[in-house]
Amino acid sequence: MARRKVPKRTDKAWKPLDLYEHQQEAVDAYKAGILRFFLAWHRRAGKDVFAMDFARERALERVGSYWHLFPFHVQAKRAIWKGIDNRDGTRFIDRAFPHSMRNGEPNETEMSITLENGSTWQMLGSDNYDRMVGSNPCGIVFSEWALCDPAAWEYIRPILMENKGWAAFITTFRGRNHAYRMFKTIEEAEGWFASLRTIADTHRHDGSPIVSAEDVRKEIAEGMDPALVQQEFYCNPDAATSGAIYGRQHSYLSSLTPVPYSRSNRVIRVAWGMHAEGLAATAFQDGHIIACHTFLESNIVDAAKCVVQRHANEILIHHGVNLDPTLFETIDGSGVVAAPLSGNEHMLAGHTASVLSRCSATAVAREKLLDFTMSYAPYRQLLDDTDLTHAAVAQSLAVMHTAQALSRRPARKLDYSAYDRGVI
């Protein structure tokens, strides 16, 4: 019996995004030859929707791979891949990439869509940037760049330079962290389109504001914190840092000249911080912090694999509170905990301030530590009730553990020759 042919799905009245003026300016810049974009636009300015529309048009022009990166992989699925526009009930990916343009159904596992011309668009997380080895994207969007791992851009930048691809960073500021510092650096730089738009700077086609002052007053009346309002709607880089407690340490790190990592041996210590929904690892040698790695998922085995990949050809000795050495046995070799740490939070907090006031660090590690000192969630006066709070907790614990590990010396000097390459 012949199989009944399934009719191809059609899209009802699909049309490209009717761009607002601030969005059209970015498109015009691209057509003028610009390949780098930093869009610091307020909440509800249409950052992600525009970025998806922009990527689709570029994918139709040039066959290749295009990525949309969120800070964490799990966020990408919740926010965009499964996200629905409340205004009309349409999935974001269906609006940006209609069925009539696709070659087959979306790959739910990889969160990717293949267009009829062969281009692919995929959602990923900046926390697993090192898993993208071997890929050759033509265009990348870093969504919520202020919350992404800044090391991801350093890792991906050479790929885009080689294939003349484009990159867009879309975000609101989260304090004067790596995103704000990057914006100030490239604001007038050649080859960049830098756009800062508060609710006073964006309008609909009829001239009315996209978000009005009355809308903001309503948000505050419904419980939105005024500091968060300043951050999200007015792009104020100082609004959300009023509760940070490591001000002096931030000043020290800001004035610190990044020190190139010059290893004294092949053994690197990794301090792990753990939380119900997050993990972080701070890699250090002697008094020098090499890197800070944050993971939103709580799978320590996968996180450890990423850390091992990022420190290839090194010998890693792990530290942590109640850290189980057997957790690392499935990677390669046996887990080694050279100096198990206690869980005295008061002592750990004191050590954190101490290490942040005297450490040296690589450039990328300094960026993460600067972000940490400005947004240390557990001790903020105003807590941010989001999943990213858990990541901030994990990062803070890792810094604490690093501090304690640095302050504790093994009873006897480690014989580094006893550790071969395969031992974790």
Predicted pLDDT at 82: 86
Cα-based distances in Å from 51 to 32, 78, 120, 276, 344: 18, 17, 15, 32, 45
Name the β-bridge partners of 356.
none
User: Could you report the per-residue pLDDT of 226-272, keeping only the tens digit for each?
Assistant: 878 888 999 988 775 544 556 667 667 777 777 776 766 677 888 88
**Greater pLDDT, 60 or 284:** 60
Instruction: pLDDT band for 347, please (50, 70, 90 cuts).
Output: very low
Buried b / exposed e over 101-116, threshold 16 CB at 10 Å, is: bbeeebeeeebbbbbe
Residue 218 exposed, middle or buried by CB count within 10 Å (0-12, 13-18, 19+): exposed
**Greater pLDDT, 366 or 185:** 185
Q: Tell me the average pLDDT across 199-208.
A: 96
Tell me the H-state helices in 323-384.
345-356, 363-374
Instruction: pLDDT band for 338, please (50, 70, 90 cuts).
Output: very low
User: Could you report the per-residue pLDDT of 10-60, keeping only the tens digit for each?
Assistant: 455 567 789 999 999 999 999 999 999 999 999 999 999 999 999 999 999
Q: Tell me the average pLDDT across 370-396.
A: 49
Name the β-bridge partners of 316.
268
CATH architecture of 247-409: 2-Layer Sandwich (3.30)
Q: Which two tokens mark 259?
A: 């020190």
Q: Which of 271, 275, 295 is nearest to 283 (CA)?
A: 271
Q: What is the mean pLDDT of the chain?
A: 77
Kindly report the length of the chain.
424
Instruction: pLDDT band for 356, please (50, 70, 90 cuts).
Output: confident
- pTM (two decimals): 0.66
Is residue 323 predicted with pLDDT exceeding 90? no
User: Could you report the per-residue pLDDT of 234-245, keeping only the tens digit for each?
Assistant: 998 877 554 455
Predicted pLDDT at 331: 65
- Report the share of the chain in percent with pLDDT over 70: 69
Task: Give the count of beta carbons closer than 10 Å to the beta carbon of residue 123.
Answer: 23
Instruction: pLDDT band for 415, please (50, 70, 90 cuts).
Output: very low
Radius of gyration of the chain, Cα coordinates, nearest whole angstrom: 23
Distance separating alpha carbons of residues 277 and 325, to the nearest angstrom:
20
Highest mean pLDDT: which range of 39-43, 81-85, 372-376, 393-397? 39-43
Distance separating alpha carbons of residues 22 and 199, to the nearest angstrom:
11
Instruction: pLDDT band for 194, please (50, 70, 90 cuts).
Output: very high
Instruction: pLDDT band for 399, please (50, 70, 90 cuts).
Output: low
Is residue 330 predicted with pLDDT exceeding 50? yes
Residues 6+ apart with CB under 8 A from 195: 22, 25, 26, 37, 38, 39, 40, 41
CATH code of the domain occupying 21-239? 3.40.50.300
Predicted pLDDT at 414: 41
Contact between 47 and 145 (Cβ < 8 Å):
no
Predicted pLDDT at 298: 67
- Collapsing DSSP to helix, strand or coil, 267 comes out as strand
Is residue 89 predicted with pLDDT exceeding 60? yes
Predicted pLDDT at 419: 35
Q: Structural domain boundaries of the chain?
A: 21-239, 247-409
- Taking every pair of Cα atoms in the chain, the longest distance, rounded to a whole number of angstroms, is 79
Distance separating alpha carbons of residues 226 and 232, to the nearest angstrom:
10
∠383-147-38 over CA atoms, to 5°?
130
- Helix, strand, coil percentages, rounded to 5, for the chain: 40, 20, 40
Topology match between the domains 21-239 and 247-409 = no
Is residue 197 predicted with pLDDT exceeding 80? yes
Distance separating alpha carbons of residues 366 and 292, to the nearest angstrom:
9
